[in-house]
Structure 1
Amino acid sequence: MIVYILRRMVQSFLVLLAVSLVVFMAVYAVGDPIELLVSAEASDADRQVMIKRLGLDLPVWLQYWSFLTRAFQGDLGTSFVHGIPAIELIVQRFPATFELVVVAIGLTCLLGIPLGLVAGLFNDKPLGRGLMGGSVLGFSLPNFWQGMMLILMFAVWLQWLPSSGRGDTVNVLGVPLSLLTADGWSHVMLPAINLALGNIALVLRLTATGVMEAKTQEYVKFARAKGISERRILTRHILRNILIPVVTVIGMEFGTLIAYSTITETVFAWPGMGKLLIDSIYKLDRPVVVAYVMLVTFIFVMINLLVDLAYAVLDPRVQLQEAQ
C-alpha cells in the first residue's frame, strides 16, 4: 500500500508540472494585463516601470522558470490587481466554496442514493419509472437558468430564502464559517440546491442501475432463499456491492464542484473561489488564474487518491490484488 501511494504521488507531481506548463502558456497568450492595470493617461515611462515590476519584460520561458522556482518554495505569485500573494487570496475564498460544496454533496448523498434505491427496487412500477424520467431534468436544465428560476421562485415569489451573499459567519480558529449560523444556512441553501440537482440526478440513475443489476444476481437470490430479510439483503448485499461506482462518482463530483462552481457562485453572488476566478479572468490577473488551476488540480489528485484507497475498504478484492 505504501509503494502504491508513493507511486501515485510521483504521478501526481508529473501531472501538476504538466498542468502548470499548459496553464501558464495559455494565460500568457491571452491579452495584456498592463492595459487594465495602467491608466490610459499614464506615460510610457510609468508603463515600463509597471511592466518591469510585474516581471512581464522577461521572455515567457524565463517567466515560467521563475514561477516554477517560486512554486517549489510555496509561492505561486502575487496578484496583479490586489497586490497580495495569489494563494493567500484563494485561501481566503476557499472556506465559502468548501461550505457550499459540502452542503451540495450532502444533499446529493441524502437524496440521490435513497431515491436511486427506490427507483431500482421499483423499476417496473410507476414510482420507479417516474423517478428515472424526472432525473432527466437534472441533466437537461442549464445551470445558470436553473439558478435564476430558484431565485425567482424561492427568493422573489415566496420570499423564503435570500438570493445572494453568504450571510452571517462565525470565526473558528480564524476561519469564517457560515454553516454555524441560521442566517448562513438560509443563504447557502439556494446555491447548494442549484449545485446539487445535477449530481442528485446522476447518483440516482447510477444507484438505480446498480440495484436493477444486483437484484437479479445469484447471490441475492440465494440470500432470499435462505430467508434473510429484505432489509438485510438490501443493505448487506445490494447496497454494499453498488457503492464502489457511486463513491467514485461522488468523489469526482466533489472535486468538480470545488473547481467549477463558478456559474453558481456568480449567479448567487457567493463570495467563493469560483467568483474570484471569473473576476481574475476579466481583469487578466494571471497569477491568480494559474494558482487557482494548480490548487484545484492538486485537490483533484488528492480526491482521486482517497477514492482509490476507499476501494480497499469497500471491496476486499482490491487489497488482495494490490498485495500480489
Structure 2
Amino acid sequence: MFAYLVKRVFQAAVVMFVISLISFSIQDNLGDPLRELVGQSVSEEVREQLRDELGLNDSFLVQYGRFAKKAMRGDLGTSYFFKEPALEVILKKLPATLELVLGATFIIIGLSVPLGVFTAIRPHSIFSRVIMGFSIIGISVPVFLTAILMIFVFSVEMRILPSYGRGDVVHVFGYWSTNFLTWDGWKHILLPSAALASIMLPLFIRLIRSEMMETLQSEYVRFAWAKGLRPRRIWFVHALKNTLLPVITVGGVQIGTMVAYTILTETVFQWPGMGFMFLEAVNRVDTPLIVAYLIVVGFIFVVTNTIVDLIYGLVNPTVKLARMGA
C-alpha cells in the first residue's frame, strides 16, 4: 500500500505540473492586465515601464520559472483587483464553495441510493418509470435553467426560500465561516445546493440502477436466493455493497468536478464562492487570480481522485490482490 501511495503522489505531482503549466500559459490570451491596473489615461511609456517591473516582457519560460518557484512556497501571485495574495483571496471564498458542494453531495447521496435501488428492484413499476423519466429530463436541462426555475417557484411565487447570498453565517476558524450553524444559513444554501445536485443526481440514479440490476443477476445473489435469505438482506447487504464499488470511483470524480461546476450556480444565486469570484476575475482580467483559481481547483480534483482511489483499494479485495501481484 505504501508503494502504491508513493506512486499516486508522484502521479499527482506530475498532473499538478501540467495543470500549472496550462493555467499559466493561457494568461496571455485573457487580455491586457494593465488595463485594470492603470486605466486608459496612462501614457505608453509608463505602461512599458510597468510591464518591465511586472516581468510581463520576459519570455514565457522565464515567467513560468519565476511563477513555479514562488508557487512552491505557496505564493500564486497578487490579485490586481483585491491587492492581496491570490491564494488568500481564494481561501476566503473557498468555504462557501465547499459547503455548497457538501450540501449538494448530501442531497445526491440521500436521494440517488434509495431511488436507484428501488428502480433496480422494481424496474417495471410506475414510480420507477416516473423516476427514470425525470432523470432523463434532469440530464438534459442545464443547471442555470434549473436554478432560475427554482428561484421562480420557491422565491418569487411561494416566497419561502431566499434567492441570493449566504445569509447569516458563523465564523469557525481562520477563513472558515459556515452556513450550517444558523437557520437562515440553511435556508440560503438549500436552493443553490439543490440546483447544483441536479447536475449529478440523474447520473447517480441511473448508475446505481444499472449496477444494481447487473449485481442482482450474478451467481452469488442467485445462490443467496436459493438459500432462502430474506429479500431485504439480499438487496441491501449482498447486492448493494458490491453495487457501490464502481459508484465510489465515479462519485469521487464527479464530486470533485462539482467544485468547478459551481460557477453557473454561484452566478445565478449570487453565492460568494470561488466560482462567482472567478467570473469577476475574468471580467477584470485579474490574471494572477484566474491562474490561482485554476491551480486550486485542479489541486482539489487531483487530491479527491487520489483519496477515492485509495478508498476503493481498501474496500475492494480484488484491487488489493492486483496490487500485491504487481
Same topology, TM > 0.5: yes
> The residue matched to 1:171 in structure 2 has which SS?
strand
Q: Which residue of 2 aligns with 1:290?
A: 291
Residues 216 and 239 of structure 2 are in contact (CA less than 8 Å); yes or no, is this contact kept in structure 1?
yes
Aligned to 1:27: 27
Separation of aligned partners in 1, 2:258 and 2:88: 21
In 1, Cα distance between equivalents of 2:183 and 2:45:
54
1:211 alignment partner in structure 2: 212
Pairwise CA distance, 1:313 = 2.9
Moved more, 148-157 or 19-28: 19-28
Q: Which residue of 2 aligns with 1:59?
A: 59
* Contact residue 243 and residue 314 of structure 1 kept, 8 A: no
TM-score (norm 1): 0.96
Q: Which residue of 2 aligns with 1:229?
A: 230
Q: Distance in 2 between the 1:143 and 1:125 partners?
A: 29
The alignment's TM-score, normalised by the length of structure 2, stands at 0.96
Report percent identity of matched pairs: 40
Structure 2 SS opposite 1:172: strand
Q: Is the 8 A contact 1:240 1:314 kept in 2?
A: no
Question: Aligned-residue CA RMSD in angstroms?
Answer: 1.3
Partner of 1:264: 265
**Equivalent residue number for residue 92 of structure 2:** 92
Bigger shift: 24-33 or 81-90? Answer: 24-33
Partners of 2:161 and 2:46 in 1: CA distance: 49
1:183-224 per-position Cα deviation (integer Å, ceiling 9, x unaligned): 001000110000001211111000111111111222111101
Give the distance between the partners of 1:167 and 1:186, measured in 2 at CA: 8
Question: Who is 1:194 aligned against?
Answer: 195
Inter-partner Cα distance in structure 2 for 1:255 and 1:65: 29
Taking the TM superposition and a 5 Å limit, the aligned residue runs for 1:136-151 are 136-151=136-151
Q: Distance in 2 between matches of 1:53 and 1:101?
A: 40
Q: Distance in 2 between matches of 1:133 and 1:88?
A: 44
> Which region of structure 1 is more displaced relative to structure 2, 20-29 or 48-57?
48-57
Which residue of structure 2 aligns with residue 116 of structure 1? 116
Aligned to 2:132: 132
Q: Which amino acid aligns with 1:137?
A: I
Large movers: runs of 4+ above 6 Å: none
Contact 1:169–1:184 (CA<8 Å) still a contact in 2?
Answer: yes
- Secondary structure of 1:17's counterpart equals helix
Partner of 1:277: 278
- 1:6 is aligned to 6
Asked if the contact 1:107–1:193 (Cα under 8 Å) also holds between the matched residues in 2, the reply is: yes
Give the corresponding residue for 1:178.
179
1:87-142 residue CA offsets vs partner (Å, 9 max, x unmatched): 11101000000000000011000001110011111112222222112110110111
Aligned residue for 2:41?
Answer: 41
Alpha-carbon distance, 1:37 to partner: 2.2
**1: distance between equivalents of 2:196 and 2:246?**
20
Q: Identify unmatched segments of 5+ residues in structure 2.
A: none
Instruction: Give the deviation of 1:49 after TM superposition.
Output: 4.2
Q: CA deviation at 1:45?
A: 4.3
